[in-house]
């Protein structure tokens, strides 16, 4: 293969910003010149991602710890999760919101029974209350359009069966913080944008990708990992798996909303932030948002 068609790497300092600790630090951007079309077809698996519009709310996870009921659920764009808890014990309810699930309609939820208002942001959201009386209580978004229920059962109900079932079918938070220090921006070339990444055994580099909304994007992802668990990439927002055909992945997507992706072994995660204008971004805010985002592990059955 023509050596001139290989990947060139250069590090460009393009921004100075204020770090989280208040000190100025420079952000390193990795930009790689793109591979020619011929080389791409030679070595990489080509994948097109199409949005999955039907988000289903997963069942809850449940366990008790120190007299507190710990409930976990994952929300979908058009649906709130229904939960079941026991009366008399305090509840700590974590709602994990996938990046594409929060919108103007569902971002504020009201629980009338407990007089609670909660703002939901992508990532982990904690709601605390103590249910005193049994029954089925409705909660909804601020407009009353999206509704779901909190079912409060008798204190002596066995919650075991519920828990076991949920563990098999629901996405669960991963113990992983996406490293947002290094960033790659989509590079506009006419009517497409491109970004080059690399997978090693330690990380997806960079793990933060910023793309412009609605503009077709080519993600060229080199696979330099030795571990075969990195030969598959998972795109849960698209219910899609991509396979390394040798050398890496070439992913085409028309991004409409943020999404995460991970290696097939769910050991490494990356985040794609989608913005209206690549030339007008608040990088520090995006890095903070992505650092706080808790990635989700989806069950095998989620993918086509
Ligand atoms: Cu609403």
Q: How far is the CA of 79 from the centre of ligand 1 (A)?
A: 10
Report the topology of domain 3-53+175-302: Immunoglobulin-like (2.60.40)
The torsion angles phi and psi of 92, rounded to 5 degrees, stand at -115, 110
Residue 109 Cα to ligand 1 middle (Å): 8
Segment 48-76 shows an average pLDDT of 77
Tokens 């990992």 correspond to 225
Ligand 1 centroid – CA 169 distance (Å): 26
pLDDT at 69 over 50: yes
**Distance of CA 112 from the midpoint of ligand 1 (Å):** 15
pLDDT interval class at 44 (50, 70, 90): low
Task: Provide CATH 2.60.40.420 ranges for the chain.
Answer: 3-53+175-302, 61-170
pLDDT greater than 90 at residue 112 = yes
Q: How far is CA 89 from CA 52, 61, 62, 130, 134, in A?
A: 38, 16, 13, 6, 12
Q: Between residues 212 and 190, which one has the greater pLDDT?
A: 212
Measure 50 CA to ligand 1 centroid, in angstroms. Answer: 25
Give the residue ranges of DSSP H helices in 81-199.
Answer: 160-169
User: The pTM is what?
Assistant: 0.62
pLDDT tier, 109 (very low <50, low <70, confident <90, very high otherwise):
very high
* Chain segment 216-241, per-residue pLDDT in tens: 999 999 999 988 889 999 999 888 99
Bridge partners of 72? 61, 94
Give residue 212 CA to ligand 1 midpoint distance, Å.
Answer: 26
* Residue 106, phi then psi, degrees to nearest 5: -100, 5
Query: What CATH architecture does domain 61-170 belong to?
Result: Sandwich (2.60)
How many angstroms separate the alpha carbon of residue 146 from the centre of ligand 1? 5
**pLDDT band, residue 66 (cuts 50/70/90):** very high
**pLDDT mean across residues, the chain:** 82
262 has which bridge partners?
A: 234, 269
Instruction: Say how many Å lie between the CA of residue 117 and the centre of ligand 1.
Output: 13
- Let me know: does 186 contact 195? Beta carbons within 8 Å: yes
Distance in Å, CA 125 to ligand 1 centroid? 17
**C-alpha 300 to ligand 1 mean position (Å):** 31
Distance 141 CA to ligand 1 centre (A): 5
Band of the pLDDT at 127, cuts 50, 70, 90?
very high
Strands (E), 82-121: 83-86, 91-97, 108-111, 116-119
pLDDT at 299 (0 to 100): 84
CB 30 within 8 A of CB 206: yes
How close is the Cα of 106 to the center of ligand 1, in Å? 5
Task: State the distance from the centre of ligand 1 to the C-alpha of 259, rounded, in angstroms.
Answer: 22
- Measured in angstroms, how far is the CA atom of residue 57 from the centroid of ligand 1? 16
């Amino acid at each position: 293969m023509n050596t001139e068609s290989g990947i060139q790497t250069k590090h460009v300092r393009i921004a100075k910003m204020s770090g989280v600790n208040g000190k100025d630090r420079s952000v390193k951007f990795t930009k790689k010149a793109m591979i020619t079309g011929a080389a791409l077809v030679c070595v990489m698996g080509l994948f097109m991602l199409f949005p999955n519009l039907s988000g289903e709310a997963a069942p809850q996870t449940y366990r008790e710890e120190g007299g507190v009921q710990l409930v976990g659920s994952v929300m979908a764009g058009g649906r709130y999760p229904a939960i079941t808890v026991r009366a008399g014990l305090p509840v700590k309810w974590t709602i994990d919101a996938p990046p594409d699930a929060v919108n103007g309609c569902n971002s504020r939820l009201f629980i009338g029974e407990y007089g609670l208002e909660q703002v939901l942001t992508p990532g982990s959201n904690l709601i605390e209350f103590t249910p005193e009386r049994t029954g089925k209580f409705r909660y909804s978004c601020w407009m009353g359009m999206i509704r779901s229920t909190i079912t409060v059962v008798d204190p002596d109900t066995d919650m075991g069966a519920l828990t076991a079932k949920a563990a098999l079918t629901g996405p669960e938070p991963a113990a992983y913080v996406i490293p947002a220090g290094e960033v790659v921006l989509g590079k506009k070339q006419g009517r497409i944008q491109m970004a080059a990444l690399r997978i090693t055994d330690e990380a997806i580099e960079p793990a933060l990708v910023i793309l412009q909304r609605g503009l077709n994007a080519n993600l060229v992802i080199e696979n330099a990992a030795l571990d075969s668990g990195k030969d598959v990439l998972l795109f849960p927002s698209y219910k899609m798996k991509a396979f390394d055909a040798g050398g890496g992945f070439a992913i085409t997507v028309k991004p409409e909303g943020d999404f995460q992706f991970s290696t097939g072994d769910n050991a490494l995660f990356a985040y794609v932030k989608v913005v209206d204008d690549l030339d007008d971004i608040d990088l520090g805010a995006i890095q903070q948002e992505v650092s706080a985002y808790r990635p989700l592990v989806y069950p095998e059955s989620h993918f086509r």
